[in-house]
Structures are given as structure tokens and as C-alpha cells.
Structure 1
């Protein structure tokens, strides 16, 4: 079976053939559409999100995976505090995005070029405590061959720990992930915060319809420990939170240190002990499947549509030259004139199809609002029946507020995904009815609503120190800035969904981070009273989230309608262009003498051959892409097999070197 990169290269070559043909025959709209489709395929990217609790070895894992250990800062405390994106670029360029000096969120942030040595000064807690440098995001473009096919890797802050906003930042990126690497520690059982996060990750994977895209990685296998019980416990918990049988989990145990030692020495034994080949097989194959389904499928549909538009005039003239009778030529002329008239009708601003599409998208908006409200209700039902009874949230209410805002962000992301699917279905049905193949449209940016300056303490009725309200306003403002930074990060680094959901998710995350800052000190002894206080004080947040869903869906629907209308107008112009050219060719055929007809037929067959070849190859490539999209992952495919390759968990691979380089 050929790889995605091989298929993509061949499809790009076929687009080049059509682009030259369209230019030669002056088919302007087809030429424009071919160029746009070619650029979409050439610039297409998939996103790998690396996440997990702090001190689990995420940054070391990425350095080992990309075989560039100096790229990601590794610290001994809470290392990563910002999202860092890495994609292919030559020459290397590293940019940090900064807020204004007064801490305000600028629509266009300051972009500062930095060196590798300066990354830690912005991206780590040690180098940038409490984000005093006002950093939003670190973007790295580097000529790494493992990223050359269009993969963007995101290194995220750790979930859990004292920096609760890190969990919110990482959770906001889940729906934009095409593959997720969840990094855990082979020497420790999974924590409660990890399990809560994993439940959301599993839900996000279900939404994107790619549950095999989650790969669980156990690091620090080089550290001596009694691991069998830990491993069994980890597998059981993963199966429970994901709802998947243990044998179907994509779980790999690795040693970052062994892989890094392999990079230093070139020793194959270190590579074998690291078990990184099994991890790479799982990850890259998951990306192969997703790219085949999402990227190649759409590109091949665009390719075939353009080839058909260019073939019609050629086929029409060949048909006319072969028939030659007046009746047959008149019939062909009549058919083309009817098509031209139908297209002219479709192109009119008052055409019925426009009203029908608006009706369907209005119905879609109602369904999306309902889905969003149901999701928010589900978040707050979980708050009432689960979160309020968890010691981890009652002991630290700031984590509870962050959790609620993160959950609401996931709801917005889910609504976006549903909008993409339902709108694609509407377009497919409309295309069938009208005989026009349409490209899938992306959802436009979601609005960033204001966040109310709420103060949450969980201590209603207690005396409060003067000035507390101003502190809450200040911290909520800071949270809004941080959350909007998350939204900008999503839009900047995850093209598959980024700009589409970034602002909306960022706003909800910002609400949570800001509110959380106002509840840190709460340690109420009366749990029942504390629950009641939290229910009362958090009620405004629920209202904000519900209103935001309504506003976001309205803006999303407007963007979808505008994009769909533009795509339909383009397809109508392309079809009209093709039919007009066919009529012109038909008139030429009528006027041709027999000698001219014979010569013309030979020339037209020469023009037709490459177009037919493009269609044949496109059909074959579509079959290969479908097979690639269905391909099963075999190496290390289940929890029972992948961990057995390389170093068994708990067995020391590297003697006395130790294993905490996996920080």
C-alpha cells in the first residue's frame, strides 16, 4: 500500500496537468478553482497534540520523537507554561506572540523573533513565572523532515498541578487534534486529575470520529520499579474512562532516555530498548488514515470536477463531428442551450435555491443551538451530581471553575464539529439535486463575547475583606486575556479547526481562569454549605455560557451561508463557462468541412486523452485513499502487545544513568 505522501504528490501532479489545460483553453473559473484546490492540498496540515500531567516527560518525548532534543525546554519544575507549536519551515524561524505592555489583548499581537536559547525564557514557568513576559504562544518553524508532509505538533502545559489554568489551556486544544499523545508515567498510577482530563479527551475523539487517534504513552520505563501492578491499574483505568476494551487501547511504553542516547551514539540497541519504533508506527499510521480521509478525499473530488468541466467542450465537439446530421446537431445544441438557461437561472440572485439553502441552514442553526444548550445543561448537571462531591474540587474551588469553563469550551468545539458535518450533508444533498459538485465549506471564526467580572468564594454569608471585589475584577480581566490567548493559539496553530472555534473556546476558558483567581483561598469546613454557595455564585457563569452559545451559533451560521453561496456561485460560473465553450465548439463543428472535421477530430482526441487519463488516475487514487483511510494499525496495536516490545515497564535499560531526564 502506498503512503499518503506518495498519493499526495501524484494528486498535485494531476492538478498541474489540469491547470495548464485550463490556461490553454482560457477556462478562467476552472483555472482559479484548480489553483485553489491545489494550494489547499499543498498547504494541508494535521495537528498532533501532546498532553499529560506535569512532570510526565512530554517535552523530552517530543524531542526524542522529532529527533531534535534541543528544541523543547526541559526543566526540573513545572516546565511548559505555554502552548508551543512546531511545523516545517526552512530556514528555521522561532516567533513568540506577546500581549500589549498593559496586559490588554490585542487583535494583532506583537510578534518577536527569538533564538532557540530564548524559548525557555518565554515557554517555561522557570523562565517566565506567572507569564510576566505577556507571552501567548511560541511558534517554531524548523526544517525537520518528520514534519515536511504537513504535520504540526503542539507541546502543551501539563494538566493537574498547582497551575490549574494549564489544564484549561490544554483541554481547549483537544477538539482540534487529529492525533493525541497522552503521556503518563510508567512508575506511578494515573491521578484523579489525569482521569478527569482523559474522559474529556475520549469524548473529543468520539466527536471527531477517530477514537484510534488517541495514543497513550508510558514514559520512564528506564526507572526501576515494581511495574506490573501499576501497568495493570493504568490499563484498567484507561479502559474505563475511554469505554474501550483494554485490548483495543493504543498504548506504548517508551524510554525517552534510551531514544536520546540512540541519537547521541547511533547504537541500535538503545533504539530497540526505547521502543520508539512502535510509538512512531502507531502515530504516523493514525495520521495517514486521517489525512487520507479528510484531505485526499476532498482534493480528488475537486480534481474530478475540474476534469469534467474541461472535458465537456471537447466531448461535445467530438460528438458533433462524428454525427454530422442536422437533426443530431440540433439535438445537441438544444441540450446545451437548456443547460445554459438552467445555469443562468441558478445564477440569479432571486433563484429559489438560495431561499431553500437559507431555510436549511436556518434549521441547522436551530439544531446547533439546541445541541449547544443540551451540552451546557450536561456540563452543569455534571457539576451538580459529580463535581460538587469531589474532594479535589471542594478543596480547591479554583479547579472547579476552570473545569466548568473547560467543559463549556469543549461544548463549543463539539457544536463546531457538528456544524461541519451537517453543513457537508446539506451540500451533498443539494449537489445531487442540482447536479453540481461542491467543495466542503469551513466554518468561520466564532465571536469573543465579554466576560462578566464575577466573584466566586464558596462562602456566602461570610464576612469578606474590603477590596475583594476589585481583586476579582482584576483577576477576571487577566483570565479573559489568558483565555483569548488560548483562542488565538487554536486559530494560529490548528488550521483544521483553529480559526473556526478559537475565539469562542478562548472566551469560555478566560471566564474560568479569571473566576478561579477569585476563589483560591476557600477552604470551607461545612461541605453542604459550600456546595450551596458555589451553586449560587456560579449561576451567572452558566447564563454567560448559554448566551455565548447562541451568539456563536448565529455568527457561525452567517459565515457558513456566505461561504456556501460563494462556492455555489463559483460552481455555476464554472459550469456556465464549460457549457458556453461546448456551444462554441459545436458551432465550429457545424461549419467544418469533412476534411477539416477529420483533422479536427485527431487534434481533439489528443486533447481529450490527458483529461481522460486524469479521471482514470483520480478514480484509482480515490480507491487507494479509501483503503489507506480504513487501514488498521498493527504494530503495538493493543495494550497487551505494544508494551511488550522493547523495554518491559520497570526494567532498567540504561544501567546507572537514571531516568529523570524524562522530565
Structure 2
């Protein structure tokens, strides 16, 4: 069974001769649509946002998945502060977007080994790192897979959660990283609740799944997985059996990549299997590629199939007229084509009934989108008032509060926009079927970005300080010393013997003096006086005042944004109307090109002699052959794409097993 990349390349190769034929036949609308399909297929991407709490092993996981052990820093004390977008690229390169002190953005090319300098919290560079763009020559990324490494949610750096939440709207899937060493934290469950809300609104039931890292450190991984499914199901509103958790060990995968047991292929294979990464890759590619196969590959094939029909039908009609040779058959074909041409002309007119119906349907969609937008934004503002304003870090650093609310607003806008775009696409497809013009589903717009909440005017609330005078008293110590002992003085004794003894003792004291010990208290260190600055807790009175001020600012922002959001809904629905009308008009125009070509061929057929008709039939056979072959190839590829999408969608939901991570390699 061919994979996505091989099918994509075959379809791209097939579109080229079709486009050339359309240009030669002056079927410009058909050629333009084929070019659009070619461009969408060539540039199609699938974005997977990898997120989780700090120190859960996200960077190690990505390094192992990309089979590039040192591309992302994995120091246990390293705090990733910006999102890193990883795409395929050759030659490899890295680029960082910096926000300078004046608010402008600047892009700089950096060396791959300096990624950690810009991704780390508190890295020293010329501005604030906003985004890292990495282009790596990794085969797995060639199909258009884009991986986004995000800062840890929750934890010490609260603004990291806002950065990560801001990445969710661009995600086709969310890969949440858990650790076998730590239970689910409150910040993790809160984030999962938000992510599940966004994914459920986007109607992607398989677009949120989980990886359990460091699972080789646990003996009973099955019990951990079951407990994890129950917890995640409780916060996401899913059934436990619908929660996919893939256990992996980045350490075992790194050992495999390092060539451990290279002389023992069987043991090395067991090492790779025990890492869990083969199962993770199977789940990742299968679950996420099914909708891409249907949307990109299937959409391109529908366009190719329509182009084959548009280019082949005039040839078949001309052949039918020439083979019959009767005036009656020619007139019948002409009348039939003219009726079709008139129907298409009526559809293309500004007064066509379908345009009025489109306006009515879009009015309903506008109302529903406005109601859904109000509900989503109400949820954001309610969280801001009841949760975010209770976080001390948000009160002392209002910029973080603004980041969090803006991230929530962005996610809400994307959730509603995705829902509305799907409803508009369904409306577009229904109209196309009723009008009789084939439609693969065009790319529709989305809700404009929500206005940004700015709380920078409040400034950072610093903790009060005071100078403290500290006196360190002098210290003394007791030492033991010796001194020469003195004999009792007195008059010289009388008598020769006594005088001799006295003189002998004096000589003895002089030549060998006697000593006695005594203790003395000595100053060890003089008194010291010093001053130091002490930070005090911010008084609750000050925090309460700041909370009230920020609540008023948030309330004003909410009131100011309501009309802007309502206008955004109007603009989005107006964009849907333009996109749908333009798509249907393009389809109608393509059909008009077909009928005009057919009528011209029928006119020329009526003027041909019998000999010219016979010669022309031979030419028609040669012109039809490549189009027939392309049509047959389109049908084969369509079956392959359907099989690929079905095979990927039917991938096993529970890739963990006793032989998975935690087993012995």
C-alpha cells in the first residue's frame, strides 16, 4: 500500500500534463484550478503542537522522534520560553524572531548549536525571543509535518501557558506530554480541559492524544495508563477507552540511536521496540494523516477528475456527431449543449436564485456564529474575572494577565472560526450539488483576530523594601598563657649555708626559669554594624486595590471588544459569502468553457466533408487517448487515497502492550 508521500508525488506528476493540455485548449479556468490544486498539495502542512508541563521530557521526546539527539536542549533546569516551529528544510538552518525594545520585530539567522541561548528563559540576546523557526533535513518532515515545541504550561513561568495556548489555533493535532514520574498536576488538567474544548469544537476526535514519557522507570505501566485515561477522561469529557496514551522512553530510543548493542541486531531491535517510539510513530502518522489524505490528496484528485471530464467531454461529443454523420444527430447534440449553456448563463447571472438562497443561509450562519462567539468570549471573560484575577503573579505583573487573556481570546476566536468555516463549507458543498457543479470544497476564511488587550500601562507592582540596621556584637575568646614565676622576695638569709642556697636558687632561676599558666580574655572580633535591604510582602490592601483596578480595566476591555467582535463576525461571514460565490462562479465558468468548446466543435463538424470527418476521427482518437489514460490513473489513485485514509483512520487506539516501554531490552 503506497504512503502519503508517494501518492502526493504521483498526483503532482499527474496534474502537470493535465494543466498543459488545459492551457493548449484555452480552458483557462480549468488550468487555473489545476494550478491551485497543485500549489495546495505541494505546500500542504500538518501541524502538531507538542505541549505539557515543565520538565516532562518534551524536548527529549522530540529529539528522539526526529532522531537528532542534541537539536533541542534537554537540561533538567532549562526552561523553554518560546515556541520552536520545526519544518523540513535543506540546507538546515535556524532563525529567531526578536522583539526589540521599541516593539519592532527582527529576524536573525543563528547557528543550530545556539538554539538553547534563545529558547531558554532569561537568555542574553539583543531582544525578547518571540519565535524559533527551525528547518531540519529529517525524512519524517518531508511530507509537510510541522512540529511545534512549546513552553511548559503552568509551573513557575505563568506566561509560558499563554505562549502555548496561543499556538493551539494553528494545530491540526495536540500531542500532550505526561511523565510516569509525576501525577497529573492542576495546571495540566486545566490545560487539557481547554485543549479538549478546542479540539472538540474543531470536530477532530483523534486530534488530542497523549504520550507518557520515562515509562521505562515504572514496573506496572498498565496500571499507570489506566489511571491516566480515567483522569484525562474526567477533565476532557471523553470516555476512557477513547483516550489514547502512548508510553515511550526517550532514553531507550537514544541508546538505540547511539548504537548500543550494535553487534547484536536482535537486542538492538528489542531496545527500539521497548522504547515505544515505533508505536508512537504509527499512532502519530496514522491518526493525523487520514484527514490530510482526504482533504489534500482527495481534493486534488477531485479537481483532476473534473478537469479530465471537462477536457474529454467535448471530444466525445464531437466524435459522436462525426460517427453518426446525420444532420438530426448533430442538431440534437447542439440543442442539448445549448440548453446546458443557457442554464449555466442563468446560474452565472447576478439574479440567479442560488445567490438569494446563499444570502439567506449565510444570514442564519451569521446569527449562529454571533451567538457562539458571545458564548465563547463570555467564557473567557468569566475565567478572567473568577480565576486569572485571583493569581498573585497576574496582579503584580499585569502583562502576564494580558498575555493569558489574549491567548484565551485567540483560542476562542479560532474555535468559533473553525466551527463557522465548517458550516460554511457544508453550505457551499450543498449548493454545488444542487447546481450540478462538482465541488471538492474550497478554502474558506476565518474570524479576524480578536483585539489585543493591553495592560502595560499598569506597570509591574514591586514589593516594598526597607533598610534594616543590623549590629553584630564583638566577640571574645579565652586563651591560656604562661608567665615566669617569681620567688618571694626578702632580705638575704644569714649564715654561710643559707646564703649559698639563696645564691644557688637565683642562679637556677636565671639559667632555668620556672613558669606558671594563667587564662586571659582576648577580643576576637570588634563590633560590626551593617545595613541590608529587605523585601516585604505586598500588603493585601495594595493587592486588593490592584485587583479592583485590573477588574475595571478588564471590564472596560470587554465592553470595548464586544462591538469589535460583532463586527469581526460580520466580516467573517461576508468573507465566507465572497469565497463561496467565487468558488461556485469559478465552477460555473469552467463548465461554460466546456460547453463553449463543445458548441464550437459541433459547428466545425457540420462543415466537414465525409473525408474530413474520417480524418478527424483518427485525430480525435489520438487526442482522447492521453486523457482517458489520465482518467484511469485518477480512478486508481482515488482508490489508493481512500484505502490510505481508511487504513490510517482504523489504526489501533491502544498502542500499549506488555512488550512496550518498561519491558526489558
Q: TM-score range by the shorter chain?
A: 0.7 to 0.9
Comparing 352-361 with 84-93, greater Cα deviation is found at 352-361
1:24 positional shift: 3.1
CA 1:228–1:126: 2 relative to 1, 3 Å: farther
CA distance in 1, matches of 2:336, 2:460: 71
CA 1:545–1:526: 2 relative to 1, 3 Å: same
SS in 1 for 2:133: strand
Does the alignment pair 1:413 with 2:423? no
Max radius of gyration: which structure? 2
CA distance in 1, matches of 2:538, 2:321: 85
1:124 matched residue in structure 2:
120
RMSD: 3.5
More RCO (CA 8 Å, sep 6+): 1
Aligned residue among 637, 641, 661 for 2:653: 637
CA distance in 2, matches of 1:635, 1:360: 38
CA offsets, 1:86-144, max 9 Å, x none?
Answer: 11122222222233x33324xxx43221110222222221525xx86232211112221
CA offsets, 1:182-240, max 9 Å, x none?
Answer: 11111110100000101112122212222222221111234468867655542321121
1:90-101 paired onto structure 2 within 5 Å: 90-99=90-99, 101=100
2:318 matched residue in structure 1:
317
1:279 positional shift: 0.8
Q: TM-score, normalised by structure 2?
A: 0.79
CA 1:363–1:354: 2 relative to 1, 3 Å: same
Does the alignment pair 1:278 with 2:274? no
CA 1:449–1:193: 2 relative to 1, 3 Å: closer
1:78 positional shift: 4.2
Aligned residue among 142, 146, 150 for 2:144: 150
1:531 positional shift: 9.1
CA distance in 1, matches of 2:652, 2:337: 57
CA distance in 2, matches of 1:229, 1:396: 42
Comparing 307-316 with 173-182, greater Cα deviation is found at 173-182
Kept in 2, the 8 Å contact 1:187–1:227? The answer is no
| Structure 2 residue runs without a partner (length 5+) | 263-267, 463-536
1:262-341 paired onto structure 2 within 5 Å: 262-265=256-259, 267-341=268-342
1:73 positional shift: 2.4
Comparing 247-256 with 227-236, greater Cα deviation is found at 227-236
CA distance in 1, matches of 2:452, 2:403: 14
CA distance in 1, matches of 2:301, 2:593: 21
Aligned residue among 198, 204, 208 for 1:204: 198
Kept in 2, the 8 Å contact 1:317–1:582? The answer is yes
1:491 matched residue in structure 2:
none
| Structure 1 residue runs without a partner (length 5+) | 456-468, 475-520, 655-663
CA offsets, 1:379-434, max 9 Å, x none?
Answer: 44566788789999999998877655433322211111112211111211221232
Does the alignment pair 1:567 with 2:583? yes
CA distance in 2, matches of 1:286, 1:250: 11
Does the alignment pair 1:423 with 2:429? no
Kept in 1, the 8 Å contact 2:86–2:146? The answer is yes
CA offsets, 1:547-590, max 9 Å, x none?
Answer: 44323223323333333333333333322222111111112221
Kept in 1, the 8 Å contact 2:98–2:130? The answer is yes
1:113 matched residue in structure 2:
109
Kept in 1, the 8 Å contact 2:169–2:410? The answer is no
Kept in 1, the 8 Å contact 2:88–2:137? The answer is yes
1:103 matched residue in structure 2:
102
CA offsets, 1:156-189, max 9 Å, x none?
Answer: 1110112212111212222322222111111110
Q: TM-score, normalised by structure 1?
A: 0.79
1:442 positional shift: 3.0
SS in 2 for 1:316: helix
1:24 matched residue in structure 2:
24
CA offsets, 1:350-388, max 9 Å, x none?
Answer: 655445434433432222111101222334456678878
